[in-house]
Structure formats: C-alpha cells, structure tokens
Amino acid sequence: MKEIVIISGKGGTGKTSVTSSFALLAGKNAIIADCDVDAADMHILMQPDYEIKEDFYSGELAVINPETCTQCGICADICRFDAISIINNKHVVEPLSCEGCGYCARVCPVNAIKNIDLKVGQYFISNIKTGTKMVHAKLGIGADNSGKLVANVKNEAKKLALKLNKEFILIDGSPGVGCPVTSSLSGAHFVVLVTEPTLSALHDLKRVYVLVKKFNIKAACIINKWDINTAVSSEIKDFLKKEGILHIADLNYDEAFTKAMIQGKAIVEIEDSEVGKILKESWETIKKNIS
Amino acid sequence: MKIAIASGKGGTGKTTVSTNIASYLAETEKVVLVDLDVEEPNSKLFIKADLYNKEDKFKMIPQWNQNLCTLCGICQEVCNYNSVIQAGNTIMVFSELCHSCYACSELCPTEALPMIPVKMGELTHYKNNNLDFIESRLEIGQELAVPLIAQTIDYVNNLFTDDFIKLYDSPPGTSCPVIEVTKDADFVILVTEPTPFGLNDLKLAIETMQELQKQFGVIINRDGLGDAEVENYCIKNKIPIIAKIPNSKEIAHYYSRGMLIYKQVSEFKEQMEKVKRYIINSMRGVLK
C-alpha cells in the first residue's frame, strides 16, 4: 500500500482538480483522503454519502467557574496568551485566545478552573462515486489543531486501505508549510507537487520542497496552466532538474477544468479533453515510479 | 483602520488584491501593507520598496538542564502539547510543537527547564514613499504560524497609529492562523472566485467571520470564469460585493510576472477604485 500526497505550497494551483482526476483513474484501487480540512472541496466532485460521521475532539479550553473563583488573578498573571480578562469585575476566558495549555487550571488555588475537551470538527467516511471510500473532514469554525484532524483523517484512511487491501491512498493536502502540511507528509511514499508558472507559485514551491526534503520523500511535479507564462515555466523546469524532481506533465490553461467542476466532475470524466489525456498519462507515470 | 484580506480557498487572489490596493491607496493615503501569510509570503514579489528594518523573531522554549533535573516527571505531565517528553533519564524538548505556555518551566520544582529563545522566523520592513510594507516568514520546519503572526501585528501596532490604513494579507483557510489575523481587524475583505470550490470555501469563511462578529464584504475575482452562484449567494444573503475583477488572461500574465496590475489594465484599475472608495467610506464610518 502506497501513500501519495498532492500538495503545492501556494493555494489554488489545482491540487484538488488533479487529485480528483487521479481518484477517478485509480478507481477501486485507492482510498481517498481529503486532508485540506480547512477548506475541503473533494466532496463536491466525489458524491460522498457520509456513511459514518464522527465528532473529533482535540485540545482543551479553560473555563472559570464564577461561583468558586475568588478573583485572585493568578491565572491572568501566568497566562501567556492574554486569554483571561476581567469583565464586570470577574475573570473570564476568551475562547479564541485560549490555547488550552492547562497552566491556569494547575495553579488556581481554589480549583475554580476546569479544562473541557474541545470539539474541533467532524470527520466522515463515505462511499464515493468511484466505488471506493473517502475519508474527509470539516474543521470547526476558528478551531485550532487542524494538524491533528489531518493526522486523524490519514489514520482512518490507512486503516481502511489495510482492511480493504487497497493499493493506494490518495491524499489531497493543504496549502502552506505549517502543521497541516507536515501532518499530510508524515509517512507518505510519494509527493506530487502541483504548481503554476507564476513567481508566487515558484517561490512557494521552493519553500514547500525544503519541507519535502526533510521527510526524504520522492517527488514529482505537474505544471498546471504552463502556457500562461512560458518563461516562468522554464524557470520551474530548471528548478526541478536541479533538485532531481521528476517533471511529469505540463497542463494547458483550460477553462474546461472549471466547466467540469460546475458539473461536479473531474476533468478526466470529460470526453476528448486534452488535459484529461495528459493526466491519464501522468497517473501511469506515477504508478511506474512508485513501485 | 485595520483591514484583513482573507479567502477560505487558496489562490483566489488575496495577494493580487492586497498588493494592488495597497499601492493604489498609497498614491493618496498613508498605507501599511502586512504580509501575514507567514508560511508562504509572496506580496514582496509585487512591491518595489527599500529595506528599512530586518529582525529575527523568536519564540521561547524550555531548555533542559540535566544537572538540576531530578526526573520527577512534572514537566511531561503538565505539557498539553507532547512537546516535553521524558525518555528514560533524558528530557526531550520538541520545539516545533511548543506553544510557549511556560507551564513546564515555571512548575519545575528545581528550575531545570529555563526558557530560552529560538528563532521561528524573520520580519522585514520596507518603505516606499507613502507605503510601508512588512512581511514575516516562518522558518521551514516550524509548525506554528500563530506566534509569528501575533508578534508581527504587535510590531505594526507599536509603530503605526490607527490613522494609517493597515492592510493584512491573510493566509488561506479558516483555522487558527486566519483567526489570529482577522480578530484584530476592523473589517474583512473576502476574495473568492465564481466556482463551486470558491463558493464552498467562501461559505466557510463567512461562517468564520460571523462567529468573530466581523463586518465583511466580498470581491469576486476571475468574474465570468465559472457560474453565477457566488454572486447569487451574496445577493440573497445581503453580503456586499465590493468589486468584480474580470477573468482575463492578460491579468493572469501580469500576475505571473510579479507586476502590479492596476498600472497596466484599466478595467482592473476601475475595480481597485471601487475597493478604495469602499475602504475610505468604511473608514469614515469607523472613525466617526
């Protein structure tokens, strides 16, 4: 069983469109994991049935009991997140600032502070239109710990892949280089970098590749909308060559991507699509390189 | 006046809007543009300005002093982030997971875990006439963006009074880094695109702004690319549409080269003028 992660550094370069195409091409051989839990979009193209829904708890939130609190102020003094303020002469916790470290509860002399478990979101296991299962999630509003929710989505996907004896796990990652991306990369066998020929995307690609190297994972790259700026496309190719990243495809700028999306389809489901054809070849290349 | 430019979905045009509106506003107003997408900052690619100040940003983490440690285990027990682990007779600190709460350090009975600074990123401040531009970038391998965002906002608020227009280019998503950026803002501009993904993620961003009780408006980028659902949704829910930037290969091309678009494309400039008027009117409303 091989884990393939699709990331980009910069957002909006086409990660989800590419992942959904690979999901169609892999069909029943793959479990799909949407690890972009902040802004999950795979469900729009995969027709999930939300067979299993589970709440996900991670982290804590301090709550002060006004009955027992003596307003001594020790909690506010030690809190490094300025999360405890005085409103109407009473100490209260500002939930959006509290990072759930639990320090205040430990030092409160009258045990007036409790930590409650925080529901940070929900995750789902669905049957999808390709005849397999997808694990996906919805992060709660303003929730911390998206990295842990990502790790959870991945774990569930891994369990399913082992149980159902699947060849691949296809993981749609999130933008950036922080905790959700680190969680998606950990344990992966192959990374597909989806980029576009803009200076922003190249800049972000270079940064995220530093992270990929730390994990020592084999990487390949797809340049989406390569014809928007062929000069920057060449710059990207130079970078790929220098770093030994496999360049698997150039995709034309094609508004058919969006048209397919509006119909709830991946681009490979559109007949005679040039980009669809290239993605089919790309999937074959990835399979060859992964084994 | 503090305005956050956010989106939910990545790649919808936050940086395009931030850099263009900042430069355009700076032709007549005092403006500070702050790139708070510290994981992948790229406003600098579009802004030509001179270096004014550069500083390393640190976060505090515990450092184990073997000679003072009695291996009592309290540090590991009080750490809610698994960043202090006792392994045999060693205490290991995983700095990338540490939230700098100080609990382990201050609750250690023998003071064996003093807090020391580690570099988590760099802040750079540039100047160009009316425009101050500040960006912070997270060291790769550091997982937590929030402390760096918080220190960058502190830097800006210490240096600039609220009669400056402060524009915060936010990271994508709806989780903690976005909250950190938007909670300090007077209002929020959400940039989206007219596609099913754009709409789905716009709804998430709107829920977040409602939870934070923030005033917000929407800019539709690449208007004409997909369908009319985003616009219909905004009209139905009485959400102001501040501007509609046309879908254009020309705009995409200037963006790809790191150029400011309003200086090249008049249709684009008209939309920036709308955003400018919206900001100035809101500012009058806020300052009243």
Shortest distance, CA B270 to any CA of chain A (angstroms): 24
CB distance B212–A96 less than 8 Å? yes
Please report residues of A whose CB lies closer than 8 A to that of B207: 141
* d(C-alpha A175, C-alpha B174), whole Å: 12
Shortest distance, CA B10 to any CA of chain A (angstroms): 4
Task: Give yes or no for a contact between B190 and B205, defined as CB atoms under 8 angstroms apart.
Answer: yes
CB distance A147–B227 less than 8 Å? no
CB distance B45–A204 less than 8 Å? no
* d(C-alpha B278, C-alpha B268), whole Å: 16
- Radius of gyration from C-alpha coordinates of chain A: 22
* d(C-alpha A126, C-alpha A120), whole Å: 20
Shortest distance, CA A287 to any CA of chain B (angstroms): 28
Residue among A11, A101, A225 whose CB faces B99 most closely: A101
* d(C-alpha A98, C-alpha A100), whole Å: 6
Residue among A39, A211, A261 whose CB faces B172 most closely: A39
How confident is the model over A120-124, as a mean pLDDT? 94
Record the tokens describing residue B285, joined without a space: 């409303």
* d(C-alpha A24, C-alpha A13), whole Å: 19
pLDDT tens digits, residue range B184-198?
899 999 999 999 999
CB distance A141–B144 less than 8 Å? no
Superfamily of domain A2-47+128-290: P-loop containing nucleotide triphosphate hydrolases (3.40.50.300)
B64-113: same fold as B2-58+121-287? no
Distances, alpha carbon B219 to alpha carbons A43, B6, B17, B112, B216, in Å: 25, 10, 9, 53, 10
| pLDDT class of B286 with cuts at 50, 70, 90 | low
Shortest distance, CA A175 to any CA of chain B (angstroms): 7
Shortest distance, CA A81 to any CA of chain B (angstroms): 8
* d(C-alpha A230, C-alpha B54), whole Å: 34
Residue among A41, A175, A178 whose CB faces B200 most closely: A41
Task: Give yes or no for a contact between B145 and B40, defined as CB atoms under 8 angstroms apart.
Answer: no
Q: Does domain B2-58+121-287 have CATH number 3.40.50.300?
A: yes
CB distance B201–A39 less than 8 Å? yes
CA-based diameter of chain B, in Å?
A: 70
CB distance B143–A178 less than 8 Å? yes
CB distance B195–A261 less than 8 Å? yes
Residue among B10, B173, B256 whose CB faces A228 most closely: B256
Record the tokens describing residue A113, joined without a space: 């502070």
Give the DSSP letter string of A90-142.
EEEE-TTT-----HHHHH-TT--EEEEEEEEEEEEEEE-TTSSEEEEEEEPTT
pLDDT tens digits, residue range A131-149?
999 999 999 876 776 888 9
Residue among B99, B140, B174 whose CB faces A99 most closely: B99
Residue carrying structure tokens 């995220």:
A208
Record the tokens describing residue A243, joined without a space: 């770093």
Task: Give yes or no for a contact between B131 and B22, defined as CB atoms under 8 angstroms apart.
Answer: yes
Query: Which chain B residue's Cα is nearest to A121?
Result: B175
Which candidate in B59, B84, B137, B176 is best for mutational testing of the A interface (most A CBs within 10 A)? B176
Q: Which CATH number fits domain B64-113: 3.40.50.1370, 3.30.70.20, 3.90.170.10, 3.40.50.720?
A: 3.30.70.20
Decide which of A151 and A143 is more confident: A151
For chain A, the structural domain boundaries read: 2-47+128-290, 58-119
CB distance A262–B102 less than 8 Å? no
Which candidate in A58, A103, A117, A254 is best for mutational testing of the B interface (most B CBs within 10 A)? A103
- Mean of per-residue pLDDT scores for chain B: 95
* d(C-alpha A147, C-alpha A182), whole Å: 8
For chain B, the structural domain boundaries read: 2-58+121-287, 64-113
Amino acid in position A289 = N
Residue among A144, A255, A262 whose CB faces B227 most closely: A262
Percent of chain B with pLDDT over 90: 90
* d(C-alpha A186, C-alpha B60), whole Å: 26
Decide which of A95 and B237 is more confident: B237
Pairing of strands A113-127, A90-93: unpaired
Pairing of strands B187-192, B215-223: parallel
Q: Which phi and psi angles does B227 have, rounded to 5°?
A: -120, -170
pLDDT tens digits, residue range B135-194?
999 999 888 899 999 999 999 999 999 899 999 999 998 888 999 999 889 999 999 999
* d(C-alpha A151, C-alpha A185), whole Å: 10
pLDDT tens digits, residue range B80-125?
998 999 988 999 999 988 999 999 999 999 999 999 999 999 999 9
* d(C-alpha B24, C-alpha B8), whole Å: 25
- Architecture (CATH level 2) of domain A58-119: 2-Layer Sandwich (3.30)
The interface predicted TM-score (ipTM) is: 0.91
Task: Give yes or no for a contact between B174 and A142, defined as CB atoms under 8 angstroms apart.
Answer: yes
- Radius of gyration from C-alpha coordinates of chain B: 22
Record the tokens describing residue A60, joined without a space: 């804590």
